[in-house]
């Protein structure tokens, strides 16, 4: 990327200035190859702005240093907003090649900023004198977080240490990108093509329809495909009567990233763990886990282990009870095999059907994707006064993407929401929220920037003319990610660095996991869980069965999750010497052996495809945060129950003010106490999971 010859004239104006409908980029005018030229200008331009701030001859002030930093880099922010979203949701060879090129370049660029001694001296001067600057609470918070960010990025290290840290960060960026692309390649390239009617034994119509659409998309019209998208593989493992096919598909699913060859992630994990431990030591921490947890609610690995081990013990006890039930059913059916991991979902569904007189296939006709989207919107309207106006004909980055204008109770536009719901080979697996741009009030004359927020998911399409039905887990995922989206859309702060989801890792899942609770509020289900053929609401008897079965199979679910979280913590609690010699798969096996992992269950995310943790460091030493936030969300929803109304206006107003709108402007403990009046204990989580 020849930055020395790049000029602003090389940048596609559609990237630099967003003049599409609703303030969106004009995606149709952007070619994949345009991004390289945009970054060739944007990166050095931002560094020039940083140099001007650092070398300002005037004495440092909050305005000429911290606020100037917050405002800098507009072209880079816009270019990044489009590119990194497309790299995850609609990638191709051109974008992936640039992603591999950009990852180390971005790392060098960030190091050049955070290790700029003149710049840090200005920030430190302000930080030392922070109590005399006349800042409001939000300004104090931004200054504190800015100073901590620079320190945690090596601003106080010697030149030699900074050089080594910069080299480590650059290599880690490359490793994370390669890891992610390897998992996507394994997912994209695998499909188990089913040829005969016998291969479909036990499968419900909705799944057969989705598998037909998946096969046609892969050039096998008239056949059916089992893909590694959770929206297909999990129901296939649940309903398929063909144990041999379940085993084949399951083994492919859990082997992502572990296949020998160019997509093998095992050596990447080994190098990543080693470099992270070295990075933590350079910064003065005992381990990478200590480094990552230092600015979270949990604070220490010991606190995290305390929560995880409490749940692990109870979950294992429950899982062994569940496994014994499955083994009895297998024997009753005349089989003599043990419960294998590819059997669990199949037989647990049979146990659930027998115990509660219903199964997942009975529920699914009432869970239309379109109605569940409406339900998520309706809940936001009831809680926060929002309405969602769909705009037809607005071009986004893919034809499947839907565009909504978000209005508050006074009819003012507060956000733009993009919904990208369907699986495709160009999209990485999973579900997530991201943003093209965040909210802030640092525009010209204090103008507010409207957030543009995305939900990206991987639901399977149905055959032409068929309704798109999802199961309860996918409905919860939709509500979960929409909770994240609301965290971005309801943001109400001044500074970009603390807007929306810019909060500690073990707090960020609170708005999303809390929002899941409203899916099962009776009013919501009765209005939106309607049969796709008749339009009739889910019968009360079925609702009762659904609620009665709500804590079923929780041993399995918590063993799956907690084993992954504990392994994440153990990898990142290694000392530099131990991390340098780690064999990832042997280490994983050792940790699971020490935990006495049930043979019938595997981790939710095995090491070679644990993208939360190894495709970048966002959730590294942080996967526990879903459970930590689970403690918070279980307690938070009790506030509405105590008020006697799931949509209690006073409670909703406090929820919006302190949880959904405050971003990182408050310490997370202070924010939670302001909402709830106290910090929670794990009791509410254990009750919700049926493990008490």
Residues catalogued as catalytic:
481
Paired sense of beta strands 402-407 and 413-422, if any: antiparallel
Contact 564/605 with Cβ under 8 angstroms? yes
CA atoms within 13 Å, Cβ hemisphere of 321: 11
Cα(88)–Cα(90) distance, integer angstroms: 6
Q: Of 39, 53, 182, give the one whose Cα is nearest residue 108.
A: 39
State both tokens at 17.
């200035």
Q: Which helix (H) or strand (E) holds 226?
A: strand 224-226
Buried residues in 525-548 as b, exposed as e (16+ CB within 10 A): beebbbebeeeebbeeebbebbee
Supply 357's token pair. Answer: 């007189």
Contact yes or no for 630/357 (Cβ under 8 A): no
The DSSP secondary structure of 142-179, one letter per residue, reads: HHHHHHHHHHHTTTTS-HHHHHHHHHHHHHHHHHHHHH
Q: How far is CA 68 from the centre of its chain?
A: 30
CA 167, 170, 174, 180 torsion: positive or negative? Answer: positive
Alpha carbon distances (Å) from 656 to 417, 448, 548: 18, 19, 31
Tokens encoding 511: 């708005």
Q: Residue 229's closest CA among 441, 512, 425?
A: 425
Q: Distance (Å, rounded) from C-alpha 455 to C-alpha 505?
A: 19
How far apart are alpha carbons 288 and 279 in whole angstroms? 7
Do 215 and 224 form a contact (C-beta atoms < 8 A)? yes
CA gap 18, 16 in Å, rounded: 7
Rounded to an integer, what distance in angstroms lies between the CA atom of residue 414 and that of residue 292? 33
Residue 469: beta bridge partners?
A: 368
Specify which residues 387 forms β-bridges with: 407
């Amino acid at each position: 990327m020849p930055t020395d010859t790049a000029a602003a004239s090389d940048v596609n104006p559609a990237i630099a200035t967003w003049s599409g409908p609703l303030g969106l980029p004009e995606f149709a005018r952007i070619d994949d190859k345009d991004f390289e030229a945009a970054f060739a200008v944007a990166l050095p331009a931002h560094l020039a702005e940083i140099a001007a701030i650092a070398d300002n001859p005037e004495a440092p002030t909050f305005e000429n240093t911290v606020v100037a930093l917050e405002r800098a880099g507009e072209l880079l922010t816009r270019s990044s907003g489009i590119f990194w979203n497309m790299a995850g949701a609609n990638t191709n060879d051109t974008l992936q090649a640039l992603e591999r090129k950009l990852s180390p370049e971005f790392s060098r660029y960030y190091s050049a900023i955070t290790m700029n001694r003149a710049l840090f001296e200005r920030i430190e001067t302000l930080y030392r004198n922070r109590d005399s600057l006349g800042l409001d609470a939000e300004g104090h918070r931004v200054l504190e977080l800015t100073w901590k960010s620079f320190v945690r990025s090596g601003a106080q290290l010697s030149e030699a240490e900074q050089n080594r840290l910069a080299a480590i960060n650059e290599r880690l960026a490359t490793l994370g990108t390669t890891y992610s692309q390897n998992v996507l390649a394994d997912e994209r390239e695998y499909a188990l093509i089913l040829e005969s009617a016998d291969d479909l034994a036990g499968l419900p119509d909705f799944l057969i329809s989705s598998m037909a659409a998946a096969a046609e998309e892969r050039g096998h019209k008239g056949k059916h495909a089992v893909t590694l998208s959770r929206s297909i593989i999990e129901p296939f493992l649940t309903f398929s009567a063909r144990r041999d096919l379940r085993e084949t598909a399951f083994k492919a699913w859990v082997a992502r990233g572990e296949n020998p060859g160019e997509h093998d992630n095992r050596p990447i994990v080994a190098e990543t763990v080693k470099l992270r431990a070295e990075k933590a030591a350079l910064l003065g921490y005992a381990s990478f886990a200590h480094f990552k947890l230092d600015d979270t609610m949990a604070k220490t690995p010991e606190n995290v282990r305390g929560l995880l081990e409490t749940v692990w013990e109870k979950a294992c006890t429950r899982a062994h009870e569940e496994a014994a039930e499955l083994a009895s059913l297998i024997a009753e059916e005349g089989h003599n095999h043990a419960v294998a991991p590819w059997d669990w979902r199949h037989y647990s569904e049979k146990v659930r059907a027998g115990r509660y007189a219903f199964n997942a296939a009975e529920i699914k006709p009432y869970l239309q994707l379109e109605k569940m989207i409406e339900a998520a919107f309706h809940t936001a309207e009831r809680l926060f006064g929002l309405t969602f106006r769909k705009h037809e004909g607005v071009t986004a980055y893919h034809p499947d993407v839907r565009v909504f204008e978000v209005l508050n109770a006074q009819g003012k536009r507060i956000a733009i929401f993009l919904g990208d719901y369907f699986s495709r080979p160009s999209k990485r697996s999973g579900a997530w929220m991201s943003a093209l741009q965040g909210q802030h009030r640092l525009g010209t004359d204090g103008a507010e920037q409207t957030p543009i927020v995305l939900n990206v998911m991987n639901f399977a399409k149905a055959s032409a003319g068929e309704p798109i039905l999802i199961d309860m887990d996918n409905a919860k995922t939709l509500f979960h990610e929409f909770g994240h989206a609301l965290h971005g859309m309801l943001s109400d702060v001044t500074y970009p660095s603390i807007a929306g989801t810019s909060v500690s890792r073990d707090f960020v899942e609170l708005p999303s996991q809390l929002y899941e609770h409203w899916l099962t509020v009776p009013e919501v289900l009765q209005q939106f869980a309607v049969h796709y053929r008749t339009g009739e609401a889910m019968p009360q008897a079925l609702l009762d069965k659904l609620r009665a079965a709500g804590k079923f199979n929780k041993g399995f679910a918590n063993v799956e999750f907690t084993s992954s979280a504990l392994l994440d913590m153990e990898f990142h609690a290694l000392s530099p010497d131990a991390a340098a010699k780690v064999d990832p798969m042997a280490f994983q096996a050792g940790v699971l052996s020490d935990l006495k992992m049930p043979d019938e269950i595997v981790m939710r995310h095995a090491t070679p495809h644990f993208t939360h943790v190894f495709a970048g460091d966002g959730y590294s030493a942080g996967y526990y945060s879903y459970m930590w936030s689970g403690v918070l969300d279980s307690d938070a929803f009790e506030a509405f129950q105590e008020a006697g109304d799931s949509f209690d206006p006073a409670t909703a107003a406090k929820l919006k003010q302190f949880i959904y709108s405050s971003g990182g402007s408050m310490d997370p403990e202070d924010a939670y106490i302001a909402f709830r009046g106290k910090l929670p204990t794990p009791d509410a989580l254990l009750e919700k999971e049926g493990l008490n």
